Amino acid sequence: MLLFGAALLCLISPACAASLAVSIADAGAAPGNTVKIPIELQGADDIGSMDIVLAYDSSVLRVTGVEAGELGKNAFIESGTDTPGKVVIALADASGINGDGSIVLVSFQMEGEVGSSSPLTLEEVSVYNLDLVEVLPEVSDGSLTVTEASPAGGYADTGLLLIAVLGLAVFVTRRKR
């Protein structure tokens, strides 16, 4: 009887339910570049709506837009980017959001000096399932760092292309013989 009661309690208790995680990873980009940073969900199960407030350092970054991620492709998404240092995102999906992946992508223009960094803080995250029951997610913040552009990167790519073309030329020449 005690076992039955524990099982019943687990069915109705949010503590036993699969947990939802909302996170942003750390990233970096060179000055002047625009980078899309995903807000990720892990363990989404019939999520009907979300409200997110993302804070960032407006002396390092400038937000340029918000778009649907792979999990948010069917959701109605509204965003507010008028307040420097804050992105307000609201989304709803009547069919429910399920699985793991990006819910939205937030685009940032890198405006700080090389080496400067901005925390990406999920200040507020409210999540409701399709039954309008609040889901309490685990939240993990990230950061975005202004990195030095790699001058070798462009030359290395060109060098690899040159080697591939020369290799193809040698192969074609030998094949003709």
In this structure, the answer to whether residues 116 and 165 fall within a common structural domain is: no
In this structure, the answer to whether residues 53 and 111 fall within a common structural domain is: yes
In this structure, the answer to whether residues 134 and 168 fall within a common structural domain is: no
Residue 136 corresponds to which tokens in the numbers above? 């309490």
| Residue 56 scores a pLDDT above 70 | yes
In this structure, the answer to whether residues 154 and 117 fall within a common structural domain is: no
pLDDT for the residue 149: 75
| Domains of the chain: total | 2
Domain housing 63: 18-146
**For residues 97 and 99, what is the distance between their CA atoms, to the nearest angstrom?**
7
In this structure, the answer to whether residues 29 and 65 fall within a common structural domain is: yes
pLDDT for the residue 157: 47
In this structure, the answer to whether residues 169 and 100 fall within a common structural domain is: no
In this structure, the answer to whether residues 106 and 177 fall within a common structural domain is: no
Name the DSSP class of 163: H
**For residues 33 and 10, what is the distance between their CA atoms, to the nearest angstrom?**
48
User: Is 12 within the bounds of a domain?
Assistant: no
Q: Quick one: average pLDDT of 97-110?
A: 97
Under 8 Å between Cβ of 12 and 133: no
Q: What is the mean pLDDT of the chain?
A: 84
Q: Quick one: average pLDDT of 76-103?
A: 97
In this structure, the answer to whether residues 140 and 155 fall within a common structural domain is: no
Name the DSSP class of 19: P
Q: Quick one: average pLDDT of 69-98?
A: 97
User: Is 62 within the bounds of a domain?
Assistant: yes
Residue 123's SS3 state is strand
User: Is 4 within the bounds of a domain?
Assistant: no
In this structure, the answer to whether residues 159 and 120 fall within a common structural domain is: no
In this structure, the answer to whether residues 113 and 176 fall within a common structural domain is: no
- Which has more confidence, 103 or 160? 103
Under 8 Å between Cβ of 46 and 119: no
Q: Which among 1, 59, 3, 47 is positioned nearest to 22, based on CA atoms?
A: 47
User: Is 2 within the bounds of a domain?
Assistant: no
In this structure, the answer to whether residues 135 and 156 fall within a common structural domain is: no
